[in-house]
Structure 1
Amino acid sequence: MKLKLAVLLLLVVLSACTSSQSDQDMDHFEVFRGTNLAHWLSQSNRRGEARAAYITQADIQNIKSMGFDHVRLPVDEEQLWDSSGVRHQDAFRLLTQCIEWCVENDLRIIVDLHILRSHYFNTGDNPLWTDPVEQEKFVALWMDLSNALKEYPNNRVAYELMNEPVADEPDQWNDLVRTTVARIREQEPRRTLLIGSNRWQSVATFEDLYIPENDPHIILTFHYYDPFLLTHWNASWTALRSYTGPVHYPGVLLEKEEYDQLPDSIHAVIGPYRVLEYDKSHILEEWSAAIKVAKRHGLDLYCGEFGVIKKAPDEDRLRWYQDMIELFEENQIGYANWNYKSDNFGLVNGGGQPNSVLIDIVSGE
């Protein structure tokens, strides 16, 4: 009798352990290599059939075939809701359809609230930080997203609270994080939430970031586009739009002799970059603050955006990408390049033609 009782207790313990492990697996959201599905439900004027055709099931299957394990999906407030907070049902259908395609193809997905009516990372006028009505609206948007997505498995879908917050003071962002996380946790206690640092998710601001205590379902996230002279070389939307001169990676970005030969009109634009020197060790040094904070809290670290514009000097561009991927892997940092489909940064161009060399590097092949 005692032997039977001992066996029975052992089976109960084993069953409880198996059940506990299964629960942990269902809640564990982990990402390594990914890409952004940008300019679809964010930063795009496409609507109707044109929007629906831009990203299809074939694109998700293509991403999976490249060797990626997840996508980061930026979504804008104006695409998902009208100004009163009422859902645009056609956009929500695209969002949920994309999630289902990802689940079918064994891809995880990060839903990133990218641009708000009250906050855009490329402008200085962001009432989100000073208007309590806009702050409550932000929380309400997340509660509505949570209501729409909460039935999807925790180990497949994660939420990124906001892309590139640009608050004047760190506590403005911290207070909003604190409030929003608490509200989401009321109905989704184990959903993984990605929290980025203030000032464009810079590695330099990690020490000022509020991180919820005793919450293992958090991933800390940063973006990295340095050196800017290389990553945004001749980019039309930046002050570098007129620069078509040399840039070097690794090493000194611009030699003095090269700088001196440029016209005076360009000197003011690129002067701050001239003496900078970048290589793999320098990049890691810049990341060190973020790495330390993540380790201190026992949380995963993730780079949700990085990239070099396609028209930058090709050899320097590809060397930078190679160093970035090596650094991610050496430091156990998940990543998603910016982005999947784009003539500027894409793994495939706007017409879907692959940039094979870049794909091989970014996918870790």
Structure 2
Amino acid sequence: MNRRTFIRNAGLATAGSLIGCKVLSEVAALTNKNNNNISSLNKIPKWKGFNISDYFQPDPGYVGTNTPEALFKFVADWGFDFIRIPVAYPTYLKLKPGQQYINADDVYKIDENKTNQIAQTIYRAQKYGLHVSLNLHRAPGFCVSTGYHEPYNLWKQKEAQDAFVHHWSYWAKKFRQVSTKKISFDLVNEPCYREDVNNTSSKTTAVPGSTYRSVAQAATLAIRKENANFYVIADGNMGGTNPVPELANLNIVQSCRGYEPYEISHYKAPWVFPDPAYQPKPVWPGDMGGKHYSKATMEAYYKPWIDLVKKGIGVHCGECGAWKETPHDVYMAWFGDVLDILTSNGIGFALWELKGEFGILNSNRSDVQYENWYGYKLDRKLLTLLQSK
């Protein structure tokens, strides 16, 4: 299951066209006009909950299943208040079955029946008091994973940027009557820069900050034209790893990740470590892959994010957790430290995922004694840890 690509190469790259000056001036005007209304958006609730994977899969041949309403009730009953829904935008386009190559014209063929299905999932979650964050896991011209073939590059071409704004304008209009306490908009999952967006094996670098700002700013304008108080979330640069200082004055929440070190969170995951020879035994704390890891190293890793919080910028951890092969005792020790660092600094979190091989239900771990929970296999130790934070 190629959920994501392991991003190792840090640095800067040069991206091409930015959003036009007219759009940026409109953004500035709207921001100034509504500054008194939206300045408080950085002071976000400490949302805690889960991702659901109904619509995120980038494989055009994948047919997902809807999260049953009962699971949202479980989430609320357990004391959580947040659901993140990553969506691959082709899942709601009018495409032929199995169509992998997307044309520029296809990007605008939004299927209302399919978006209504996504909306119904959102409403089912909100029925139980859960805040829902709608995320484009695949956006026009970019996805951190493989799958569909994009017609252009979000970080280089205005055509892609215009399409990106169009999609966010569509979703904001669809939910413009929904309370801002119930919904937020997470612009694009784990941004990074590749010269060829359709080749995830090519060198990956950070999106130039000025480019990211332009793209995020234009989408935020489209969203806040519908409701100036909508929460907008931007994932950290370089796959969610790095805070984005260029966004600091845009009243946009920033989203980090809880996967460091990958030697623990993605132990034996073939899409992250394709070389079976590189499989250091997970330990916590201890040495892995030639580096020493401990709670102190995690505190240093998250310091830039904590510094954002201290500056009054909202921060949330949009994804965190570990794959099924990570030894459970190591997982609990490591994850407890990660969550303690985040939550003690006012940063909420969303486990990847509610149900599945990273999840709290049906994770298929070999070293967990599951509790039967209405037909699901519940990892009670993981639930108790999450509830304690």
- TM range, normalised to the smaller chain? 0.7 to 0.9
| Equivalent residue number for residue 234 of structure 1 | 268
| Equivalent residue number for residue 362 of structure 1 | 386
| Equivalent residue number for residue 72 of structure 1 | 84
TM-score, normalising length: structure 1: 0.78
Question: Does the CA contact (< 8 Å) of 1:33 and 1:70 recur in 2?
Answer: yes
| Equivalent residue number for residue 219 of structure 1 | 253
Question: Does the CA contact (< 8 Å) of 1:195 and 1:221 recur in 2?
Answer: yes
Structure 2 residue 150 is the aligned partner of structure 1 residue 111: no
Question: Does the CA contact (< 8 Å) of 1:27 and 1:153 recur in 2?
Answer: no
- In structure 1, C-alpha distance between the alignment counterparts of 2:223 and 2:269, rounded to whole Å: 38
| Equivalent residue number for residue 12 of structure 1 | none
Note the residue ranges of structure 1 that are not aligned, 5 or more in a row: 1-22, 254-273
- In structure 2, C-alpha distance between the alignment counterparts of 1:145 and 1:106, rounded to whole Å: 20
Give a deviation string over 1:273-303, Cα, whole Å, max 9, x none.
Answer: x22111112111111112212322x122110
C-alpha displacement of 1:111: 0.7
Question: Does the CA contact (< 8 Å) of 1:35 and 1:70 recur in 2?
Answer: yes
Structure 2 residue 299 is the aligned partner of structure 1 residue 278: no
Question: Does the CA contact (< 8 Å) of 1:36 and 1:336 recur in 2?
Answer: yes
C-alpha displacement of 1:155: 0.9
TM-score, normalising length: structure 2: 0.73
Question: Does the CA contact (< 8 Å) of 1:325 and 1:364 recur in 2?
Answer: no
Q: Identity of aligned pairs, percent?
A: 20
| Equivalent residue number for residue 153 of structure 2 | 127
Question: Does the CA contact (< 8 Å) of 2:51 and 2:84 recur in 1?
Answer: yes
Q: How many residue pairs were aligned? A: 313
Higher helix share: 1
Distance 1:308 1:182, change over 3 A: same
How does 1:278-317 map onto structure 2 within 5 Å?
278-296=293-311, 298-317=312-331
- In structure 1, C-alpha distance between the alignment counterparts of 2:383 and 2:70, rounded to whole Å: 17
* Structure 2 residue corresponding to 1:102, chosen from 116, 125, 132: 125
Relative contact order, higher structure (CA 8 A, sep 6+):
2
C-alpha displacement of 1:30: 2.3
Distance 1:299 1:193, change over 3 A: same
| Equivalent residue number for residue 184 of structure 2 | 158
Amino acid in the other structure paired with 2:50: T
Structure 2 residue 365 is the aligned partner of structure 1 residue 353: no
How does 1:1-365 map onto structure 2 within 5 Å?
30-38=45-53, 40-43=54-57, 51=64, 53-82=65-94, 83-122=106-145, 127-167=153-193, 168-202=207-241, 205-213=242-250, 215=251, 218-240=252-274, 242=276, 243=278, 246-253=281-288, 274-296=289-311, 298-342=312-356, 344-349=357-362, 352-364=376-388
Amino acid in the other structure paired with 1:354: L
Question: Does the CA contact (< 8 Å) of 1:33 and 1:363 recur in 2?
Answer: no
Helix, strand or coil at the partner of 1:127? coil
Note the residue ranges of structure 2 that are not aligned, 5 or more in a row: 1-37, 95-105, 194-206, 364-374
- In structure 2, C-alpha distance between the alignment counterparts of 1:163 and 1:47, rounded to whole Å: 21
Divergent runs of 4+, >3 A: 23-29, 44-48, 122-126
Give a deviation string over 1:166-192, Cα, whole Å, max 9, x none.
Answer: 134222211101222122222220001
| Equivalent residue number for residue 267 of structure 1 | none
